[in-house]
Structure 1
Amino acid sequence: MADVRTITAAELVERHRGLLRGNGTELALVDAREPTEFTQRHLLYAANLPPSHVGLEVAARIPRLGTPVVVCDDGGGQAAAVALELTVLGYTDTAVLDGGIDAWAAAGGELYSGINVPSKLFGELVEEHFGTPHVTASELAGWLADGRDLVVVDSRTRREFNRMSIPTGRSCPGGELVRRVGDLIDDGTTVVVNCAGRTRSIMGAQSLRSAGLPNAVYALKDGTMGWELAGLELEHGRDELAPEPSEAGRAQAAVAAQAVAERCGVRTIDRSQLDGWLADDGRTTYFMDVRTPEEFAAGHLPGATGAPGGQLVQATDEYLATRGARVVLADGDGIGATMTASWLVQMGWDACVLEPGWLDDAQLVESAADETAAAIRSRQPPLPYDPADAEVARAAMEAYLVWEVALPDQYARDDLVEFRFC
């Protein structure tokens, strides 16, 4: 430990407060423990990065070697090991939290359980702030049985949709909702957005409402978990994807996204400004391609990371480890990028959109979908889906939903968190 610089909990609090004041600083907070330990209790903005994954993930998650990094654990020695490895890799401003997460708690700091907590907390606060309407599983089942004019759109990934889905639902990942939903509905059609639990249902439904969709829009309360808990049957193996928008649908979505951009202060930058930011070794810039994984693989700009818009908002701690960084989002027409950026801005990120028109660029490169985030997710404890014992599954889903709904109570005690709704 003698070779590793330390920082006290009080000093870390001041670092956090500096970020809230917008003083131009950055901070990457890393929790070096294994995922099962991390999910039990951790600091809110900590990125989970155990020693065995530093070499694979750190370049994407903390791309600038001069980023101030604070590493923590619970006294098991992992923080010192990760800090030393970061130093060997060339990171120049690395410290270990003295006393670890217990010292943070002793100083009055909040410790959170679960995964993707910043985003899940934000989703609960979005519902509270905007009054996002919801429909229960039993109510939706009744609407379907009555033949109500409605469309169910599933805002998860296509893989999750294929695994289990609400009857009649269509896959429409969250970042695609504003672009695609217009061609699925008529004037009187009710729109229901679902996910596995709560966050992506709420964020998807509120995205459509914030974009000015005149139809009735609801989040399915508790998603597929709520459907199962209500004793209803899910479907499996389906792959119905909401189609690409028509020319008229895309035009309407572009107008809606522009209105959101003006309301939330989402800026658009050109390629020269992006190139300048990426070359700036004094501040971190994340460059994210928020299209679908298939579109990203078919051709993207050099230096971009594949981060589908709905997943980026759902899992900011996986993609964006450095608080205070710039985030530039790109897609083909700017619609999904703008909607995603609007949520990141409200979460406190300095997010903007790369101007459209780059899809014909000769520099586009083909590749497999980004593997870093997939590797991160592969080592996360899974959400409580379908274990063999039905009673265990039910208890796990109920406990998960109770945990998620309770997150705002911790937020009310935490003076190091700030969101800005627009």
Structure 2
Amino acid sequence: MNAQFPVAVRIAAVSLVRDRLRNGHEIALLDLREEGPFAAAHPLFAVNLPLGRIEERIGGLVPRRDAPIVLYDDGEGRVARALPVLAALGYTDVSVLEGGLEGWREAGGEVFIDVNVPSKAFGELVEHVRGTPSIAAGELHARLERGEDIVVLDARRFGEYNTMSIPTARSVPGAELALRVRDLAPSPDTTVVVNCAGRTRSIIGTQSLVNAGIPNPVFALRNGTIGWTLAGLQLDHGATRRAGAPSAHNVDRARAAARSLAHRAGVREIGRTALDLLAAQAGRTLYRLDVRSPEEYETEHLKGFRSAPGGQLVQATDEWIGVRHGTIVLADDDGVRARMTGHWLRQLGWREVYVLHDWAALPRATGPEPVVLAAPLPEVETVGVLELAAELETPHAPVVIDLAPSPTFRRGHVPGAVFAIRSDLPAQAWEKGAGIVLTCPDGLGARIAAPDLHKQGVPVRVLAGGTRSWHDAGLPLETGLDENRALSRADDVYKRPYEGTDNATAAMQAYLDWEFGLVAQLERDGTHGFTVLEDVPCQS
């Protein structure tokens, strides 16, 4: 037993982790720090799972309790605290990375910055290998000003597009492009330009259309909205243009191209019987993902399938899939989006990718995606919003601690609430007679965290329904984050230089410069297993 850990643990050598990554064996390499430190340095296939979010997130990321897990931090002691949590949740194959992050470095492991790096590095590799066509912001602007026959398609999530977009652009999230482009640009003479905020979704979206064999000239907007901004051009804000329903004829054409691509990439098709066999197979981590839009998912979806819109799944695979080399089953209801997504996941090195080709007789569900919790929620004492509002007006008001992500806290919180990260909760800092009320946006994280304080003898309650219930009751919210009163540093969320409207020019340029160097980093790392399909497009 290692003295620094509360339980006997196995130590995983860096060489073992690298071998599993290279050789296609399942492994979940979990970084227990907050997203800010994670984004500053981590191995390529590390998945960020902050210590205080384990119970909320690990059920989706690592659904198989005997999957091989390797934990690390950077010497902060988070691994020691996580081990008993994982053991209590039933995870049985947990190791600790030898030497943590520093051990990875000392063993010659490559270290990456930013988030969703495998997908971003892969996008750069695709452009490098395929020579994905692109157009500079200034040239696109001039052509739009001249009134040329051009459609601009924004491959990001609708919310990102609504925040800022290229003038005239229409929201067509990545997996929708091949399904809908023929209706949006029916003339083969129409130039199609695909953009995102930076580079990856522009490149992958453009190459999707090239691979799918559409006859139009297709270009990625070079460097996306960042490139547009750096060129001194103005973005639109609040745009709501979306693609309409595709015509049956064009769906058939898109399906034929997607089927050909998926076959070439090695995506396999299965029905219900084969799906049941995969689910029953020991030693296999299975991810069932619905790649349609969130709105379609809520209308109706297959039970047991999570919502993972295809464009985002390719862009941020590690937000849904925690076990590298796990098995992926994709579903749609058109035969295009799952196959297009699958053909990219195969190139991203996922060895077993399946498309469910028939929904017949499979059980359905409606409504938003259920939260995948690794254990039942604990029983806790709650307080209603009106009762709490009244208590906050008294001399002995409780302390409200909000466990929301820091950007969410800044946008709105219960007046007087203090920001905290769950793993930093300092119970000893409060007079035990005052009591604490925990909250978070939906109340789930607060319910999970409450026993931590209760075990230390601190009177703790949870705001029923979370901060959302306070807002829904029409009570006022306070904005901002007073770092002098906060219980934690607001490093839980990495400030992306390609999202939002307040990014510094230097940060945007530095981000682009970093992306340009990712292909060389991949070569040095040597664990990625990426391949890029060549000799396409398919016949349209």
Q: Could you tell which deviates more after superposition, 54-63 or 367-376?
A: 367-376
Q: Secondary structure at the match of 1:39?
A: helix
| Matching residue of 1:7 | 11
Which aligned pairs between 1:271-420 and structure 2 lie closer than 5 A? 271-358=272-359, 361=361, 363-369=363-369, 380-384=493-497, 385-386=499-500, 388=502, 393-420=504-531
| Matching residue of 1:205 | 206
Give the 3 Å change call, closer, same or farther, for CA 356–136 of structure 1 in structure 2: same
Give the 3 Å change call, closer, same or farther, for CA 355–51 of structure 1 in structure 2: closer
Q: Quick one: distance in 2 between partners of 1:376 and 1:410?
A: 31
The 8 Å contact of residues 344 and 351 in structure 1, kept in 2 or not, is answered as no
Q: Tell me the CA shift for residue 279 of structure 1.
A: 2.7
| Matching residue of 1:16 | 18
Q: Quick one: distance in 1 between partners of 2:268 and 2:168?
A: 37
Which aligned pairs between 1:247-266 and structure 2 lie closer than 5 A? 247-266=248-267
Q: Quick one: distance in 2 between partners of 1:30 and 1:357?
A: 34
Q: Which amino acid aligns with 1:363?
A: P
Q: What is the TM-score when the length of structure 2 is the normalising length?
A: 0.74
Q: Secondary structure at the match of 1:212?
A: coil
Q: Could you tell which deviates more after superposition, 190-199 or 377-386?
A: 377-386
**CA-to-aligned-CA distance 1:56-88 (integer Å, 9 cap, x gap):** 000000000000000001111112222221111
Q: Which amino acid aligns with 1:108?
A: G
| Matching residue of 1:157 | 157
Q: Quick one: distance in 2 between partners of 1:176 and 1:229?
A: 28
Q: Quick one: distance in 2 between partners of 1:306 and 1:370?
A: 10
Q: Secondary structure at the match of 2:84?
A: helix
The 8 Å contact of residues 59 and 372 in structure 2, kept in 1 or not, is answered as no
Q: Quick one: distance in 1 between partners of 2:80 and 2:274?
A: 38
Q: Could you tell which deviates more after superposition, 364-373 or 132-141?
A: 364-373
Q: What is the TM-score when the length of structure 1 is the normalising length?
A: 0.94
Which aligned pairs between 1:59-208 and structure 2 lie closer than 5 A? 59-185=59-185, 186-208=187-209
The 8 Å contact of residues 269 and 357 in structure 2, kept in 1 or not, is answered as no
Q: Tell me the CA shift for residue 410 of structure 1.
A: 1.2
User: Where in structure 1 are there 5+ consecutive unaligned residues?
Assistant: none
The 8 Å contact of residues 41 and 112 in structure 2, kept in 1 or not, is answered as yes
**CA-to-aligned-CA distance 1:89-140 (integer Å, 9 cap, x gap):** 0000001112101011011111111000010000000100111011011010
Q: Secondary structure at the match of 1:92?
A: coil
The 8 Å contact of residues 32 and 71 in structure 2, kept in 1 or not, is answered as yes
Q: Quick one: distance in 1 between partners of 2:229 and 2:201?
A: 17
Q: Quick one: distance in 2 between partners of 1:375 and 1:252?
A: 43
Q: Which has the larger radius of gyration?
A: 2
The 8 Å contact of residues 387 and 393 in structure 1, kept in 2 or not, is answered as no
Q: Secondary structure at the match of 2:517?
A: helix
The 8 Å contact of residues 318 and 376 in structure 1, kept in 2 or not, is answered as no
Q: Secondary structure at the match of 1:30?
A: strand
Q: Tell me the CA shift for residue 258 of structure 1.
A: 1.4
Q: Quick one: distance in 2 between partners of 1:85 and 1:376?
A: 24
Q: Tell me the CA shift for residue 274 of structure 1.
A: 1.0
**CA-to-aligned-CA distance 1:209-246 (integer Å, 9 cap, x gap):** 01111211100011011111111111111111111210
The 8 Å contact of residues 271 and 358 in structure 2, kept in 1 or not, is answered as no
Q: Quick one: distance in 1 between partners of 2:29 and 2:86?
A: 13
Q: Which amino acid aligns with 1:380?
A: V
The 8 Å contact of residues 68 and 94 in structure 1, kept in 2 or not, is answered as yes
Which aligned pairs between 1:29-40 and structure 2 lie closer than 5 A? 29-40=29-40
Q: Tell me the CA shift for residue 278 of structure 1.
A: 1.8
Greater percentage in helix: 1
**CA-to-aligned-CA distance 1:181-201 (integer Å, 9 cap, x gap):** 110111101110000100000
